[in-house]
């Protein structure tokens, strides 16, 4: 069996659950997830959970918010006057909206409250503040030659120039 380490390309099958058991994500049976360990392609806690697993191994691990999508930040929750939205726009709690901020950046926000006068929007990631539990099966580990992990010239030693 091959052990997964930083710089390896790994392929996993996974199911992600919230603390109450609700499934929030999973890899399709026919399309498992592949990523490079240590390259920041997945949340840090998932990367750490898969590191040191062996090909064929199954494992369950829980990731705290600070190693997932961060803590819920009240600064990203804002109450906006209802009149700022088109009258025909359905504002439904739990739905996401794309909004543009004062810098013309487009952001996804969640509608978390609606009254006749205002709308409460939350710009946090929907999984912010949540502990995430993953059931993971490591299907494959692809090791690169040692010199490839740090780049093509990592093993190059220039000749002494005298």
Q: Cα torsion for 85, 91, 94, 96, to the nearest 10°?
A: -40
* CATH class of the domain at 74-122: mainly beta
Sequence spans of domains, the chain: 9-69+127-148, 74-122
pLDDT digits (tens), the chain, 162 positions: 899 999 999 999 999 999 999 999 999 999 999 999 999 999 999 999 999 999 999 999 999 999 999 999 999 999 999 999 998 999 999 999 998 888 999 999 999 999 999 999 999 999 999 999 999 999 999 997 765 555 544 444 555 554
At 13 the three-state DSSP class reads strand
Q: Which fold has domain 9-69+127-148?
A: Chitinase A; domain 3 (3.10.50)
At 6 the three-state DSSP class reads coil
Separation CA 74–CA 114 (nearest Å): 17
> Do 98 and 107 form a contact (C-beta atoms < 8 A)?
yes
Whether the predicted model's global pTM rises above the 0.95 cut? no
């Amino acid at each position: 069996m091959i052990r997964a380490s930083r710089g390896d390309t790994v392929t996993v099958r996974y199911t992600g659950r919230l603390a109450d058991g609700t499934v929030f994500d999973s890899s399709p049976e026919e399309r498992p997830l592949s990523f490079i360990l240590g390259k920041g392609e997945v949340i840090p806690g998932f990367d750490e959970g898969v590191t040191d697993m062996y090909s064929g191994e199954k494992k369950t691990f829980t990731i705290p918010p600070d190693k997932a999508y961060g803590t819920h930040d009240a600064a990203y929750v804002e109450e906006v006057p209802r009149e700022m939205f088109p009258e025909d726009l359905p504002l439904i709690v739990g739905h996401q909206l794309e909004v543009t901020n004062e810098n013309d950046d487009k952001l996804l926000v969640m509608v978390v409250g609606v009254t006749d006068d205002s709308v409460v929007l939350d710009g946090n990631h929907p999984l912010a503040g949540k502990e995430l539990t993953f059931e993971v099966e490591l299907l494959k580990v692809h090791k690169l030659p040692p010199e490839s992990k740090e780049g093509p010239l990592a093993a190059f030693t220039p000749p002494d120039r005298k």
